[in-house]
């Protein structure tokens, strides 16, 4: 089966390949008559330009890369969906790379994608380790960091997320407004900046409300969210005045609810549980989980637009635009797990 290309089309109409190219990308005037004939031939043959050849010629592939720990992680699916939507609308495809929190794999993937002239990268870094991003950044390729980023990134690279400090602060204020007096906190991995911010928000809200910060009320994750099963039960046995637990992520909240349930403790009558994320399944838990919502789908949309804006700016001006930060609004979603 002979492949059909610019030249084929040209021959059908009796013009050169360049003329056909010209009508296709319309940057140059072409005689209206030949233009019509060319268009006709194109639609008759169902011709589609070869994007590989275009990419090679233009030095850019109209492909972007989404580099995340795992698509099975519930927060990344909507991010991916949003990213893919704007990519599609703006003419890009998205290549999905799961790193499994392995920096080495991340590095290998980066190199692979570079050798395909990938136009830009959206990252949620493996192990929150940004070495790979740092060296990639030196090559001048557009990058945006989503959800996972550090303090030092904020002025150097595009980031998208919520204000984790403020969001947690607001969550605490809500709990306090509902009469909670002794609020525990389930803390996530310290290496993740956003968790440190959330802990900071927890403390600040306590102090601003004239309550004291009690170190013994914060539970620390050791290996996985499952840790909170025992941590919660031990905490509750040790301190029976606890009337609320604020989990720094929804998966933790789920484990905590199970731990409470298995002890015969009622939610929210005895203890309120507040989550953070609002992943897809939060609403279908029993009871439905109240949580601080992050707009993940919107993260994806925003990251995609930010990235493609960078790409187009770079194509036009030869250099990257100044970095921007995109802090989206969080929202307290009140369901049934809090009083």
Please report, as ranges, the residues that interact with a second copy according to CB under 8 A: 1, 48-53, 55-56, 61, 63, 70-72, 74, 77-78, 80-81, 84-85, 88, 93-98, 105, 109, 111-117, 140, 254, 258, 261, 280-281, 284-286
Binding string, 19-38, against DNA, x = CB under 7 A?
x-xx-xx-xxxxxxxxx---
Residue 34 binding partner per list DNA, a second copy, none, with a CB distance cut-off of 5 to 8 Å that depends on partner kind: DNA
Nearest-5° Cα angle at 223, 290 to 201? 45
Q: How far is the CB of 108 from DNA (least distance, A)?
A: 18
DSSP 61-130: -SEEEEEES-TTSTTHHHHHHHHHHHHHHTT-EEEEEE-TT-HHHHHHHHHHHHTTT--EEEE--GGG--
Structure tokens at 15: 């013009």
CB nearer to a second copy: pick between 19 and 61: 61
Residue 338 binding partner per list a second copy, DNA, none, with a CB distance cut-off of 5 to 8 Å that depends on partner kind: none
Q: How far is the CB of 106 from a second copy (least distance, A)?
A: 12
Our finding on whether 315 is near DNA (CB under 7 A) is: no
Structure tokens at 215: 């170190």
CB half-sphere exposure, 43, CA atoms < 13 A: 6
Residue 18 binding partner per list DNA, a second copy, none, with a CB distance cut-off of 5 to 8 Å that depends on partner kind: DNA
Our finding on whether 57 is near DNA (CB under 7 A) is: yes
Our finding on whether 245 is near DNA (CB under 7 A) is: no
Among 44, 45, 53, 315, binds DNA (CB under 7 A): 53
Nearest-5° Cα angle at 174, 168 to 179? 130
Question: Could you say which residues in the range 286-305 bind DNA, by CB under 7 A?
Answer: none
Our finding on whether 314 is near DNA (CB under 7 A) is: no
CB nearer to DNA: pick between 4 and 154: 4
Among 36, 45, 56, 116, binds DNA (CB under 7 A): 56
Structure tokens at 228: 């909170």
CB 46 within 8 A of CB 63: no
Residue 261 binding partner per list a second copy, DNA, none, with a CB distance cut-off of 5 to 8 Å that depends on partner kind: a second copy
CB 312 within 8 A of CB 296: no
Q: How far is the CB of 139 from a second copy (least distance, A)?
A: 8
Burial 18-37 (b: 16+ CB within 10 A, else e): ebbbbbbeeeeebeeebbeb
Q: Residues, the chain, total?
A: 339
Structure tokens at 293: 């919502």
Q: How far is the CB of 252 from a second copy (least distance, A)?
A: 12
Q: How far apart are CA 236 and CA 271, in angstroms?
A: 10
Q: How far is the CB of 179 from a second copy (least distance, A)?
A: 25
3-state helix, strand, coil in the chain (%, to 5): 50, 15, 35
Q: How far is the CB of 314 from a second copy (least distance, A)?
A: 13
In the block, tokens 């910060």 appear at: 213
Q: How far is the CB of 83 from a second copy (least distance, A)?
A: 9
Could you list the residues that contact DNA (CB under 7 A)? 3, 5-7, 10, 14-19, 21-22, 24-25, 27-35, 49-50, 53-54, 56-59
């Amino acid at each position: 089966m002979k492949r059909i290309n610019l030249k084929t089309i040209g021959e059908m109409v009796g013009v050169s390949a360049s003329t056909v190219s010209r009508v296709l990308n319309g940057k140059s005037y072409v005689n209206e008559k030949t233009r019509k004939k060319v268009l006709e031939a194109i639609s008759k043959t169902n011709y589609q330009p070869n994007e590989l050849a275009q990419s090679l010629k233009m030095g850019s592939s109209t492909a972007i890369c989404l580099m995340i720990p795992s698509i099975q992680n519930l927060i990344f699916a909507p991010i991916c969906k949003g990213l893919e939507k704007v990519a599609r609308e703006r003419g890009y495809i998205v290549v999905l790379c799961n790193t499994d929190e392995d920096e080495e794999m991340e590095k290998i993937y980066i190199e692979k994608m570079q050798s395909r002239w990938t136009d830009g990268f959206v990252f949620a870094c493996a192990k929150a380790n940004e070495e790979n991003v740092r060296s990639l950044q030196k090559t001048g390729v557009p990058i945006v960091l989503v959800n996972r980023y550090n303090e030092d990134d904020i002025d150097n690279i595009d980031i998208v997320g919520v204000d984790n400090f403020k969001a947690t602060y607001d969550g605490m204020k809500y709990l306090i407004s509902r009469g909670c007096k002794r609020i525990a906190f389930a803390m996530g991995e310290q290496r993740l900046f956003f968790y440190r911010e959330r802990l900071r928000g927890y403390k600040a809200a306590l102090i601003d409300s004239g309550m004291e910060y009690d170190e013994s009320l914060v539970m620390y994750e050791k290996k996985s969210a499952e840790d909170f099963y025992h941590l919660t039960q031990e905490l509750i046995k040790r301190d029976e005045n606890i009337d609320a637990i604020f989990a720094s992520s929804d998966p933790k909240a789920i484990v905590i609810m199970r731990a409470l349930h298995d002890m015969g403790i009622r939610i929210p009558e005895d203890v309120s549980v507040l989550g953070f994320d609002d992943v897809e399944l939060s609403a279908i838990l029993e009871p439905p989980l109240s949580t601080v919502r992050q707009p993940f789908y919107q993260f994806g949309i925003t990251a995609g637009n930010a990235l493609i804006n960078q790409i187009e700016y770079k194509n036009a001006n030869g250099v990257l635009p100044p970095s921007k930060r995109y802090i989206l609004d969080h929202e307290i979603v009140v369901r049934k797990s809090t009083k």
